[in-house]
Structure 1
Amino acid sequence: MRTASTVDQLLEQVPNKTRNKNYLKPLCGLPLSPYFSAVKLRWLMDNVPKVKAAIKADNCLFGTVDTWLIWNLTGGPDGGAHVTDVSNASRTMLMNIETLRYDPTLGKFFDIPFSVLPEIRSSSELYGRIRLSALRDVPLSGCLGDQQAALVGQECLSRGKAKATYGTGCFLLYNTGNVPIESTHGLITTVGYQMGPEAEPVYALEGSVAVAGAALGWLRDNMNLLESAKESEELALSVENNGDVYFVPAFSGLYAPYWNQEARGVICGITEDTQRGHIVRASLEAVCFQVRDILDAMNKDCGFPLVKLKVDGGMTINSLLMQWQSDLIGLEVQRPVVVETTALGAAMAAGRAVGCWDIENVSVESNCTSFRPQITEDERDMRYSKWKMAIERSFGWEGNSMI
């Protein structure tokens, strides 16, 4: 990753040479990582002469994808709105998580001029009108980050509600109310949404799983253990249990809550009786175990336990997987009829701003399918303890040679 060297340089700026990746977390909610926007912009300024020259000439604008889309849709160079919302701005490492404004301390640390950055607005207000002929004058009035939009679309609008989106990776957001909570268990703090300029912001804790559905792609493309992702459910049901096989798909390290970049994938517990169904089943269970890892961290940080988990995304059509998820976290799992809740959440924010509806009074729970735990707590804890053993065996592979 080309911005990794930029992170190393920035870590040298941390006081007392501690190289603490969480040094800025109290201000922005995020650890120093190549993933976030400020690091990417700093890399561009250091390595692309045209960018550096354009900034010096006051001829450069920067933004995340939402900013680019709004700017183009509202006119681009002909008066386009250069704006973002609080949920997207909270991923730049440049916005103060409490004031919802660009923070001078953060700007100084990254040496980024605020003149290139978009104006921070709420998630639900009129940003401008579309200038393209086919949709001319349609108001642009909703803007949310991907996962934050799913939080809204799943109606996780009060403290203690959480959603998980299952796709190539898996992303969990846990509504913590109007006060940001700084995680001490490997999660990041983000703005969930702000429904209008005068509304209080709602915060969330987030945990990300790098490899969820991608593990099935690996079994299909690299190992030829299945022909399609859809076949995974059939193969997983071809065996009575997981055969004591555990699969940690740490292909390029582990994300939350471990943040271990030296971890690598392992399959543990293989015997002469192991069949491909066991390995496929272990890959599905790995998704569920990683979700439990994050939920446990969220419960420790928040102190108000989750009652049920709302789910969405492509993988949730697999009812077997959703039942296992309920079994392995010991909670009700609720799947809506419309699993593409990101688009729904963005539409809810946009419609609220122009008076189409009041999202506080919208309810989709009656159209949900619920999954409830069907195993004992003892079995759940026993299986999770073996997962933790497998996790430990994945640590320390990269950059650790005995030769």
Structure 2
Amino acid sequence: MSEVYIDQHQVELTQFYPEAGWVEHDPREILESVKVCMAKALDKATANGHNVDGGLKAIGLRNQRETTVVWSKSTDLPLYNAIVWMDARTSSICRRLEKELPGGKTHFLETCGLPISTYFSAMKLLWLLENVHEVKVAVEKGDAMLGTKDSWLIWNLTGGLDGGIHVTDVSNASRTMLMNLKTLEWDKPTLDTLKIPAGILPKIVSNAENIGTVAKGWPIAGVTMSGCLGDQHAAMLGHACKKARPRALMGRGPPSFSTQARRLSTRVTGF
């Protein structure tokens, strides 16, 4: 089967800058923008003569990594804006942990492959727990759900309060600083060290499996969601990068990647 490009649609997402170094998105605007893009892309495809009624077999999700959302299990509402990957408000938390933990910045490196940094979701969650009363109370009551953007989207796409599925894929989980690279599960010692309850975290699934079915109310209701991948990892796939083939993408930053098959390679330099 060959792939054929049909059409696309995009909507600009508002970025909020409450303070210097802070960057946020409105989780509800994220959902609405996805819904609009789905509807517009389907309209364009239909106008160009493509059969989208019954012809759409599955969808995949590619999302911005690290950006963190916490929402209420009982109301389905976000408890705070999504804290974006580039947000630097957690710098003081990072410095504190570097002083407190053996190995400093590299304390979690052997487990999760990442240094302590403002980028990663774990630090954003710690900030929310320490600074947002609604989040702290919801976590204490067992009413909080945490996720990166993929988790928030999948939860809502599959029904939200009406049967929604709380999952994330391994590529997104690998950027939280909480996943054990050997087991591909949430690392209990790391969670204990950071005092993060495992119950608020999504289940980790593979990149390619049937996650669930898109719920009523979405333009593609009834279609199977069959895959999820973080944006930079997805770009590796899109560029057909094979074993040991490096790739660099020049955008807001110059991230470099290289496929390593099943071999773990952790460097103190972080590369």
Partner of 1:36: 120
Amino acid at match of 2:238: G
Provide the C-alpha distance between the structure 2 equivalents of 1:73 and 1:49, rounded to a whole number of angstroms: 28
Provide, for residues 101-128 of structure 1, a one-character-per-residue CA deviation record: whole Å limited to 9, x for no partner: 0111110111100100000000000111
Query: What does residue 135 of structure 1 align with?
Result: 220
Q: How far has the Cα of 1:77 moved from its partner?
A: 1.8
Matched, 1:4 2:88: no
Give 1:55 deviation, angstroms.
0.6
Shift of 1:133: 4.0
Supply the AA of the counterpart residue of 1:139: T
- Quote the offset at 1:129 in angstroms: 0.8
Structure 1 104/133 Cα, relative in aligned 2: closer, same or farther at 3 Å?
Answer: closer
The answer for the alignment partner of 2:175 in structure 1 is: 91
8 Å CA contact 2:114–2:270 kept in 1: the answer is no
Same amino acid, percent of matched pairs: 44
Look up the match of 2:44: none
Match of 2:77 in 1: none
- State the Cα deviation string for residues 21-64 of structure 1 (Å, max 9, x = none): 01110000000011100011011001111101001111000000
By how many angstroms is 1:183 displaced?
Answer: 1.5
Structure 1 CA distance for aligned equivalents of residues 188 and 164 of structure 2: 26
Runs of 5+ unmatched residues, structure 2 = 1-87
Query: Equivalents in 2 of 1:168, 1:96: separation in Å?
Result: 28
* Residue among 152, 174, 183 paired with 2:237: 152
The C-alpha deviation readout for 1:195-252, integer Å capped at 9, x for no partner, is xxxxxxxxxxxxxxxxxxxxxxxxxxxxxxxxxxxxxxxxxxxxxxxxxxxxxxxxxx
Structure 1 residue aligned with 2:194, among 110, 115, 137?
110
TM-score by length of 1: 0.44
Query: Which protein is bigger by CA-based radius of gyration?
Result: 1
- Which of the two has greater helix per residue? 1
Of 124, 141, 157 in structure 2, the residue corresponding to residue 57 of structure 1 is 141
How many Å separate the matches in 2 of 1:77 and 1:10? 36
One-letter code aligned to 2:192: K
CA deviation vs aligned residue, 1:344-372 (integer Å, no higher than 9, x gap): xxxxxxxxxxxxxxxxxxxxxxxxxxxxx
CA distance in 2, matches of 1:161, 1:21: 28
Q: 1:176 deviation in Å?
A: 1.2
Q: CA RMSD in A?
A: 1.3
- Contact 2:106/2:268 (<8 A) preserved: no
TM score, norm. by length of structure 2: 0.65
Larger RCO, structure (CA 8 Å, separation 6 or more): 2
Residue from 36, 48, 52 that aligns with 2:132: 48
Q: CA deviation at 1:154?
A: 1.2
